[in-house]
Structure 1
Amino acid sequence: MKFGKQYSKVTVFMAMLHGVIIGIAAVALIGFILMGTNGKQAEVKTKAGKDEIPISGPTGEDVKAPVSVPAPAGSIELFARQYGVFTSQESAALFVSENPLLAAAAVIKEGEQYFVWTAIGLSEAEIIDSDSEESFKKRFFVNTAACAAVGAGKLESVLSTNDITKIKTSTGEKGMETADEFEKNITAITTFTNDIRVIRAHLLSHYSLKKECIKFTF
């Protein structure tokens, strides 16, 4: 069976041209889609890459090893468990009163700042059992030379010992009213605690807040 001529050359040419145009358009569309996908992936990589800073602190590249600083002349090195620092004694005291875990805490003054400290030791190891997620260790130096003028000349030796007996028998200069006051302070503190770390904290609190004879170096 013979079929006759159904399409002209022009019709066939136009059909071929139409097919080519559709093919080019499809290739172009796929290219644009791939480019858009790669762009989004690159953007995500940039946001999650090396410029990201962990919430908990600086990146590992920024962390530096602590520098060992020698004690200033006439000072002793101590370590405190710190819970906060405030701009007024009232706000620090309020913070302590609202936290049952800080019943034995003391407020220490240095300049215009008020620190809330609990355990104070001669080494980091001495306060390691006081670790808390709400606190951190603070190294500092203290000079008590000026406290001799208020009858607390034995303050440095009290802060430097781990012998509770020596603390309870520490006195100032005989016959001085201020020395009697120092002895009374020791008696008052040791009446409610035998924890040497807490005793140190409250002595530093008294002689930094009321007598202002202690010099701190951080």
Structure 2
Amino acid sequence: MKFGKRYSNATVFMAMLQGILIGVAAVVVIGLVLIVTKGKGDINASGEEVPTTGPPAAETPTSAPENALPLFAKQHGVFSTAESAAQFIAEDSSLAKAAVIQAGENYFVWSAVGLTESEIETNGNEGTYRKAFSVDASACGAIGAGKLREVLAETEIDKIKKLIAEQKSGGEEGEVKDFHKNMTAITAFTSDLRIIRLQLLSYYSSAKNCAKFTF
């Protein structure tokens, strides 16, 4: 006696077709999984390269004091000692107007400071980066540099020179007079507002220790 069940040709064809479709779907799903996995791996592998000498492009300062002034610096490197930063500048003649900025335990080499990103031109191939930061100069008023924030935010060199002339005629003395002497020396050295801001920040953050940075 035969117990085998007979199937029609249509039933056999549908079963074969279903098997083929299931196989194709499985291959597509596996392929998609491999593509997604590889893509994530590539992103993690390449990522955004952060140079050891400084941060890329622009960063947004966080937790800055309410009266802090947002600025952007052209950064060439960051060092663990003032000596190594100074040596870096000495070895590159193009950095004659650069300055060392100390913030915490780091020493940054900057060559310009602007009010906007567009003022600072950088080149990753040359190792320069745009560094966003904020400066709080409110403590500088106690040492006669109460106009420091106003000067840093100025966009016209003539207005700075006018301010210097007005203060000279006022006959200020002591630390206020020293501030104006510094301003006179810097503006005689350069008319580039980006350099003026840089040199003022370098002096009042290190020698006077009243300008405080937030990154």
Q: Tell me whether the two structures share a fold, i.e. TM-score over 0.5.
A: yes
CA distance 1:213–1:70, change in 2 (3 Å): closer
The residue number in structure 2 matching 1:8 is none
Aligned to 1:213: 210
Please state whether the residue corresponding to 2:146 is helix, strand or coil. Answer: coil
The TM-score, its normalising length taken from structure 2, stands at: 0.68
In structure 2, the CA distance between the partners of 1:132 and 1:119, relative to structure 1 (3 Å rule), is: farther
Show the 5 A alignment for 1:53-72.
53-54=45-46, 57=49, 72=65
Counterpart secondary structure, 2:172: coil
Query: Which stretches of structure 1, 4 residues or longer, exceed 6 Å deviation after superposition?
Result: 65-68
The answer to whether the Cα contact below 8 Å between 2:61 and 2:214 also exists between their aligned partners in 1 is no
State the distance in 2 between where 1:66 and 1:91 align.
24
| Superimposed CA distance per residue, residues 23-69 of structure 1 (whole angstroms, 9 cap, x where no aligned partner) | xxxxxxxxxxxxxxxxxxxxxx9xxx5535238639xxxxxx97685
* Residue 86 (structure 1) shift: 1.4
Alignment root-mean-square deviation, CA = 2.8
- Unaligned runs of 5+ residues in structure 2 are 1-33, 51-57
Conserved in 1, the CA contact under 8 Å of 2:59 and 2:131?
A: no
CA 142–67 in structure 1, closer or farther in 2 if over 3 Å, else same? closer
Correspondence for 1:99 among 83, 92, 102:
92
Q: Which secondary structure does the structure 2 equivalent of 1:161 belong to?
A: coil
Aligned match for 1:153, one of 146, 149, 156? 146
Aligned positions of 1:65-214 closer than 5 A: 72-128=65-121, 130-131=122-123, 133=125, 134-171=127-164, 175-214=172-211
User: How far off its partner does 1:197 sit?
Assistant: 0.3
- Check 1:67–1:199 CA distance in 2 against 1; reply closer, same or farther (3 A cut): closer
Residues 35-46 of structure 1 aligned to structure 2 (within 5 Å): none
Contact (CA 8 Å) 1:170, 1:183: kept in 2 or not?
Answer: no
- CA drift of 1:176 comes to 3.0
Gaps of 5+ in 1: 1-44, 59-64
CA contact (8 A) 2:112 2:198 kept: yes
Q: 1 CA distance for matches of 2:59 and 2:175? A: 40
CA shift for structure 1 position 212:
0.4
TM-score, with structure 1 as normaliser: 0.67
Equivalenced residue count is 166
Larger radius of gyration: 1
Preserved contact between residue 92 and residue 107 of structure 1 (Cα < 8 Å): yes
Contact 2:205 2:211 in 1 (8 A): yes
Higher relative contact order (CA 8 A, sep 6+): 2
Q: Tell me the distance in 2 between the aligned counterparts of 1:184 and 1:66.
A: 34
Q: Structure 1 vs Structure 2: percent identity of aligned residues?
A: 46
